[in-house]
Every structure is written in structure tokens, then in C-alpha cells.
Amino acid sequence: MDKTNAHDATRPAVGVDIKNLYKVFGDQPKKMMPLIAEGISKDELRDKHHHILGLRNINLSINPGAIQVIMGLSGSGKSTLVRHINRLIDPTAGEVWINGKDIIRLNRWALRRFRREQTAMVFQKFALFPHMTVIENVEFGLRVRGISYKKRRVTAQHWIERVGLAGYEHSFPNQLSGGMQQRVGLARAMANDAPILLMDEAFSALDPLIRTDMQAVLLDLQQELAKTIVFITHDLDEALRLGDQVAILRDGEVVQQGAPQEILLQPADDYVANFVRDVNRGRVIRCRTLVVPGPIVEGPDLGANLTLEEAARQLGSTGHDQANVIGNKGQHLGSLTIGQILAAMVEPSKAG
């Protein structure tokens, strides 16, 4: 019987290393690999050889405790990629390393245990059991693991309260709104205490205000728990708000990976530049990106994680044209000016 205290939710975070990952859909995917190595296009592979190239040479390192966002247009390979991390899909070639093991090589028994103990998934369609109450849905994974009734009830109740659903424990999914159902899905994933959380378009079906609220709930929980989260989305604003790192896919390939600020300030190509063209840069870029090392200046202190929009507002209210930037522990990092802030908030193509 699994003796893990799921209520503690204190397992150390683990990273994910994806190496040379390929996925080809069709009758003879292995035979297509030489053609792919030679650079055959996705369209030609489909039209001439009747195979679909899902992923091409994905290399991605996801740091422990970070939120890795994977985004791209429909058909770019986002969902295919995330399903390799818990091996719901087997690759045509490549490796996925977690906790020192290539999970692609796990046998059926070891894979079942890995999925049960190391990963949890939140789906776009909620995937709740309609005949179970909220608390029964939340505790389901713990019941499968053999956790005692008393302990799993305590754990489920804890997470129901953490996601703001206290009082709905004995309601059924069809009695809840879409946003409330997704909170149940998130509580269920958190109750399992898996170090890796996979979220496939988890908030895409929600109305904009509820979606923003769920993003805030996730970020609040992440501050406390520091899970390794892989978050799939096609929404750039969501990606830039949530991601410590963002990977942009096109036709099954990673075209750029980096911090949100890097994606905005240094797009790898025209495809990425077009993606980020209409983003409100002031709400994404943070002071730490612009800080210039140097001595303390005459002006207010601004937190390194403040967005430029917030920084401009605070700095403007003081009457100063420069400010000091301080880190999470109050240490002096350097300074920046209102000119730097305003320049960075304007898209380069519009600045001239």
C-alpha cells in the first residue's frame, strides 16, 4: 500500500529532459526516419508517403519547479509533445529523461507506477466522473493508490478548499459551472502530489474572466508548491503570464525557447515576431530584464518582478526619472530610467 502522505504535497520537484524526440504517425513510421533526416517537409511526407510528421527533433530541458509553456497554432504538435512526457504516446525515436530514467524504456509495470506517482494531468474537457461527487473525483487518484479512506478524505478536503470549492464537496459535476469543474480537475491533480503536472489547454474552454481567475489560482498554488508544470496553450497572453520558459512550436519543431521577455525582445524569426506583435509588452516585460548594474541612485525602489506598466506607474507618481531595482531579498541589483521603461514598452517596428 502507498504510504505517501499526499496532504503534505512536499515532494521535491523534478526536471524533464527531452532529447532528439520524433513522432511519425502512419503504418511504417520507422521507415520514414531516413527521409525525415534528409529534411523532407511535413507536407511532402503526408502527400507522397501518407505519413504525418507530429514531432521533429525536439530537444527541451525543463527545470525542476518551473512552468514550461508550450504553444503554437493548431496542428503544431503541442498536445502530441505533452503526451510523450507521461507516455500516453510512444515516440518513433528519442528519449524522455525524468528522475534519471528514460521513461521510453520503462516496461508496462514501471510505466504504470510512473504515471501514478510522478505525473498528474489536467485536461481541457475536465474529464470528471459524472457519477461521482466533487470530493469523490478529487480523491480518486488516491483511492487507486491505496490510500486509506480517512487520509484521502482529509487530503481531498484540503485541496477542495485550496481551489475555492468549500461547500461543494457533495455536488455532482453537472451541478457546477465550467470554471468550477476545472477547479475540481486542478484539485484532483494537486491531491495526487505528483511532482510533474501536465496541463493540456486546461483553461481554453473557459470564459475570459474565469480563465484569468484560474490562471491566478494556478500561479498562487505554484508559489507554494513549486511543481514542474508543462502547460499547453495557443493563447500568447496566457503563455507569457504563466511561463517561466516558453517554447513555440511550428509544424512539430521548436522554433524558439526562452523566457517570456526574451521571446518578446528577441524573436527568433518572422514567425515568432508575428506571434508577439500585438502583445502588451508593458504587462509582460519585467524590471529585471532592463536593470543596469551600478550604484544606488536617487529615486524609489522597484521590485525586480514588477512589470514595466506597474513600474512606470509607480515611478511616475514619485516625480523621479530613475529608480533602483531590488531583488526578492531586498538586495540592490542596479537601476533603470523612465526612458528605458517607455522605450521597451513600444514594439520596435512602431518606435521609429
**In the chain, ranges of CATH 3.40.50.300 domains:** 62-276
Which pLDDT value is given to residue 6? 42
Mean pLDDT of 158-163: 90
For 281-351, CATH gives: 3.90.1280.20
Closest CA to 258 of 273, 242, 247: 247
Q: In this predicted model, what pLDDT tens digit does every residue of 101-122 receive, in sequence order?
A: 999 999 999 999 999 889 988 8
Q: Which residues of 168-202 are buried (b: 16+ CB within 10 A; e: fewer)?
A: bbeebbeebeebbbbbbbbbbbbbbbbbbbbbbbb
pLDDT at 241: 83
Q: How confident is the model at residue 58 (pLDDT cuts 50, 70, 90)?
A: very high
62-276 CATH fold: Rossmann fold (3.40.50)
Compute CA distances 239 → 67, 88, 156, 259, 315, whole Å. 10, 24, 29, 10, 27
Which residues of the chain form CATH 3.90.1280.20?
A: 281-351
User: How many C-beta atoms surround the C-beta of residue 23 within 10 A?
Assistant: 23
- With bands split at pLDDT 50, 70 and 90, how would you rate the model's confidence at 230? very high
Q: What is this structure's pTM?
A: 0.80
Query: For 291-341, what is each residue's pLDDT tens digit?
Result: 899 999 999 999 888 888 889 999 989 889 999 999 877 899 999 999 989
